[in-house]
Amino acid sequence: MSDVKASAPDEQTGYKRFELGRFSFSRDEYFVTVGWPARETQLSHTLPVDAFLKALMRDVAWGFFYGWVNFDAVLGTRNRYGKVELYAGRYNDSYHASGLDYMETFETAEILATFKAMLTDWTNAGFDPFAAPAETSTTVFGKKNGSNTAAIERNRETCRRMPGLPGDASLRSDENGYPINRAFADVEQDEPELHVEPGFENEVHAFNLFKYLSRSDVTWNPSIVSVCRNSLFCPTTEEHILPVIHGNDRVEWFIQVSDQITWQVSDKETGQPRARVVMKPGDVAAMPADIRHQGFSPKRAMLLVWENATPGLPEKYDSGELSPYPIEL
């Protein structure tokens, strides 16, 4: 069990202050303040507490995901798969050029323990960091007021082969706590018609993926619904803003299943804008290995994220062995 360095609750707000290496984290009624050493001084950075907790929630639930999870233009993490880099300003042109950025590497268990403790202490009753803004309360603001453990202990739902197969991940239904989301009330709920010969019950298998997605209780949190060696179909439902700016350490692909999402794409290293990708149903777009991206979804939408989990990919892209662009036109 990793040690978490936390203060006693603040007398005014009720929230604890946390330290991780030479980083410090504190929150008040509206904001989170992050501190770090820079040259001979101490710098700090402020984020709205709701945005911070939504980003923190994804970083924890995703196990630091693939590559970079930027909380905003200054703060973020990079997954080194076993270790995690926590940085402030490293991927921001101004901070980095001025030598005011700071980065520290932690064992994954250590940073995860601190992040979970922060999430637990700072998430008030009634606030769900996974929910769309229209679906959760504003109790995130103000003084400490209870907790919401059930909401923050959800992880990515992953399958070994395909949900619904014996011994694999469960399908979603009213009975196991997954009602249809309000934005997908018109999505048909019928299941495929299976005619199975005896002895092949474990191999003749199909399910209604759109029904499954219509019952997702989270936003911007991909699940895994099929595993083809290291190729993973990771569909997700998206509403409002992706709470992080994801920097790729490999190529990933987006297939827009329903509705519309617009992506702002920036340079992974500098954050300079590179493109906007407007995706409508049926559109397919690569997200190259040298970019960071953030999505905007005005109505809850179904997105199929396609990932390649082949070990060692980040090193191959870093070294230039692999092109950041998947297709030569």
Partner 1 sequence: MSAYTTVFGSLAHYEKGRVEIIQDKARHYAFSNIFEVASQAQPYEKTAVAKNLEYVVEVLRAEGRSDWFTAAHDEFAVVMDGHLELHLVKLDDPAAVVSPDAQGSVRLPGSPTGKKMGWIKLRRGHQALLPAGAAYQFIAEQPSVILLQTLQGPLTVEKWADICEA
Q: Closer to partner 1 at the Cβ: 125 or 194?
A: 194
Note whether 142 and 29 are within 8 A (CB).
yes
Considering only residues 115-174, where is the footprint of partner 1 by CB under 8 A? 161-162, 165
Residues 6+ apart with CB under 8 A from 175: none
Count residues binding partner 1 (CB under 8 A).
79
- Residue 181 per-residue DSSP state: P
Q: How far is the CB of 243 from partner 1 (least distance, A)?
A: 22
Of positions 255, 269, 294, 296, contacts partner 1 by CB under 8 A: 255
Any contact of residue 97 with partner 1 (CB under 8 A)? no
d(CA 153, CA 319): 37
Q: How far is the CB of 242 from partner 1 (least distance, A)?
A: 17
Q: How far is the CB of 7 from partner 1 (least distance, A)?
A: 44
Note whether 87 and 75 are within 8 A (CB).
yes
Any contact of residue 105 with partner 1 (CB under 8 A)? no
User: Which uninterrupted H or E stretch holds 43?
Assistant: strand 41-48
d(CA 212, CA 178): 9
Stretch that binds partner 1, among 12-20, 37-45, 130-138, 286-294 (CB under 8 A): 286-294
d(CA 274, CA 324): 14
From residue 221 to residue 240, the character string flagging contacts with partner 1 as x (rule: CB under 8 A) and all else as - is ----xxxxxxx-x-------
Considering only residues 189-218, where is the footprint of partner 1 by CB under 8 A? 190-197, 199-200, 203-211, 214
Any contact of residue 93 with partner 1 (CB under 8 A)? no
Q: How many residues does the chain have?
A: 329
Q: How far is the CB of 205 from partner 1 (least distance, A)?
A: 5
Considering only residues 58-87, where is the footprint of partner 1 by CB under 8 A? none
Q: How far is the CB of 296 from partner 1 (least distance, A)?
A: 13
Phi, psi values for residue 275, rounded to 5°: -165, 165
Burial of 96 (0-12, 13-18, 19+ CB in 10 A): middle
d(CA 275, CA 266): 7
Q: How far is the CB of 98 from partner 1 (least distance, A)?
A: 23
Q: Closer to partner 1 at the Cβ: 117 or 171?
A: 171
